[in-house]
Amino acid sequence: MSEISPTTEIVVCLKWVFQVNEPSDARFAGMSPADHAALELALQCAEHIGGEVTAVTVGPLAADTVLREALACGVAHAVRIDAPTATDSADVATMIASTADKASWIWCGDYSTDNGSGSVPSFLAADLQARQALGVINVSFEGEGVSATRRIDGGRREVLDVRAPAVISVEGATARLRRASLAALRTAATAAIDVVTPATPIRTTQHTVHTYRPRARALAAPSASDALDRVRALTMSGATATAQHDVETLAPADAAARIVDALRDWGYL
C-alpha cells in the first residue's frame, strides 16, 4: 500500500458518453456531471494532499475530447485505453487498474449515464485491493485522508474515514468543475495523450435492445393502517404498474386548468 508522499498518484476515471437526449450525436457527447465532479475533486485532492492527477478513459479516438477537457482543467497526464466504451465493466476496471496500479487516490463518477451500473469503481477497488467509498455526496480533505459522506438506505447517510489507497465515486452535485483558462484550453488542444492498447481481451456482453417498459408488478399487500389507504392500496395500481388513462395533448393554459380540475375532482383542492 503506497504511503502518501508529494509524488502521490491521483487518477480520475472519465467516461465519454452520449447524452441520453442525443443518443447518436457525437457532437453532444462528453463527460457526465458525475465525472465532472470527480475531475474537480481529483484536482482538489492534488491541491490538498499533493501529487499529480492522471485522467484515464477507456474509449475510442473520439473519447480524447474528455481527456482534453481534463487537461485544460489542469490534470498532468492523460491516458486513453483504446477499447469500446461498451466494454464490460469488470474489464474496463481491469484495464484502468493496469495503468493505475500505483495510484493512491482514484476518483470516479458514481455511475455512467449510459451503462449506469455504478460497478466500475467497485471492480477497481477489488482489483487494486483498495478501500472504496461509493455514491458519495460530500467530500472534505482532512490531513492525509478524506472524509466522505455517502447515501445509504432510507435517506440516511454514512460518514467514512477514507485512507489511501482508495476509490471514491461521487455524484454530480458533489463539486462544480472549475473553468479552464484560455491558455490552458489552447495548450490542451494539442497536448500529448498516451494511447494504450489493452493487454486483456475486450469483452462486451451480447444483448438485444428494447425500449424500457415497466415490468408487470406484483402488488404489495396493504401495509397502510387507515381503512381508506387500505382500500386504495388494494384498488390502485402502484407507481410502477401502468395506469389506464388516455394521454391528453393540451396547450399550457388548458393543461394548467385541466390539472386544477383533476385536483378538485380528487379532493386535493
Partner 1 sequence: MIAVVVVRDGLLPAGGAETVAECAGRAVLIGSQASIAAVALHGIAVELTLVERDSFQPASFAGDLAAILADESIVVLPASPDGRDLAPRLAAGLQRPLHAGATAVNADRVDLVRNGGRDLHRVVPADRFVATLQPGARGVIVEQLLPAPATRNVVSPATQLVDAVVTAVLPPDPATVDLAEAARIVGGGAGLDGPERMQQLAEIGLKLGASVGATRVVTDRGWAAHERQIGTTGVVVSPHLYMAFGIAGAVQHTSGLGDPAHIVSVNTDPHCPMMQLADLAIVSDANETIDALQALLA
Partner 2 sequence: MTDVDVIVVGGGPAGSCAAIVAARAGLSVVLLERGPFPGSKNMYGGVVYPRILDELIPNWWEEAPIQRWVTRRSTMLLTETQALTVDFRTEAWGKAPYNGATAYRPDFDHWLAGHAEAAGAQLLTSTTVTGLLRDANGAVVGVTTDRPDGDLRARVVIACDGVNSFLAKEAGLYEHTDAKHFTLGVKETLALPKEVIDERFGVRGREGVDIEIIGGTGAVNGGGFVYTNLETVAVGVVLKISKLASQSMRPEQIIANLKAHPGIAPLIEGGEIKEYSAHLIPEAGLKMMPKMTTDGMLVAGDAAALCLAAGIWLEGVNFAMASGMYAGESAAEAIKVSDVSAAGLGGYQRRLSETFVLKDHRKLRRAPELVLSDRVQHLYPQMIANVVERMFRIDNPAPKPGLRRILNQERKRAGIKRRDLMRDTLDGYRSFG
Ligand X SMILES: Nc1ncnc2c1ncn2[C@@H]1O[C@H](COP(=O)(O)O)[C@@H](O)[C@H]1O
Indicate the length of the chain as a whole number: 269
DSSP of 121-161, one letter per residue? HHHHHHHHT-EEEEEEEEEEEETTEEEEEEE-GGG-EEEEE
Residues 6+ apart with CB under 8 A from 68: 78, 188, 189, 191, 193
Element (H, E) at 94: helix 89-99
Q: How far is the CB of 116 from ligand FAD (least distance, A)?
A: 3
DSSP label of 30: B
**Cα of 178 vs its chain's centroid, Å:** 18
Q: Which is nearer to partner 2, 6 or 252 (CB)?
A: 252
Q: Is 119 in the site for ligand X (CB under 6 A)?
A: yes
Q: How far is the CB of 161 from ligand X (least distance, A)?
A: 22
Q: Is 249 in the site for ligand FAD (CB under 6 A)?
A: no
Q: Which is nearer to ligand FAD, 250 or 269 (CB)?
A: 250
Q: How far is the CB of 65 from partner 2 (least distance, A)?
A: 10
Element (H, E) at 224: none
In this chain, which residue has its C-beta nearest to ligand X?
109
Q: Which is nearer to ligand FAD, 21 or 206 (CB)?
A: 21
Using CB distances below 5 to 8 A depending on partner kind, what does residue 182 bind out of ligand X, partner 1, partner 2, none? partner 2
Residue listed under C-alpha cell 495503468: 99
Reading the block at residue 208, the C-alpha cell is 438485444
Q: Is 20 in the site for ligand FAD (CB under 6 A)?
A: yes
CA dihedral (194, 195, 197, 203) in degrees, to 10, reads 120
Say how many residues touch ligand X, by CB under 6 A. Answer: 24
Q: Which is nearer to ligand FAD, 2 or 242 (CB)?
A: 242
By CB atoms closer than 10 A (0-12, 13-18, 19+), residue 128 is buried
Using CB distances below 5 to 8 A depending on partner kind, what does residue 91 bind out of ligand FAD, ligand X, partner 1, none? none
Q: Is 38 in the site for ligand X (CB under 6 A)?
A: yes
Q: How far is the CB of 107 from partner 1 (least distance, A)?
A: 14
Query: Which positions from 217 to 236 touch ligand FAD by CB under 6 A, shown as an x/- string?
Result: --------------------
Q: Which is nearer to ligand FAD, 116 or 222 (CB)?
A: 116
Do residues 85 and 63 make contact, with C-beta atoms less than 8 angstroms apart? yes
Interface positions with ligand X (CB under 6 A) = 13-15, 34-35, 38, 56-59, 85, 89, 92, 108-109, 111-112, 115-121
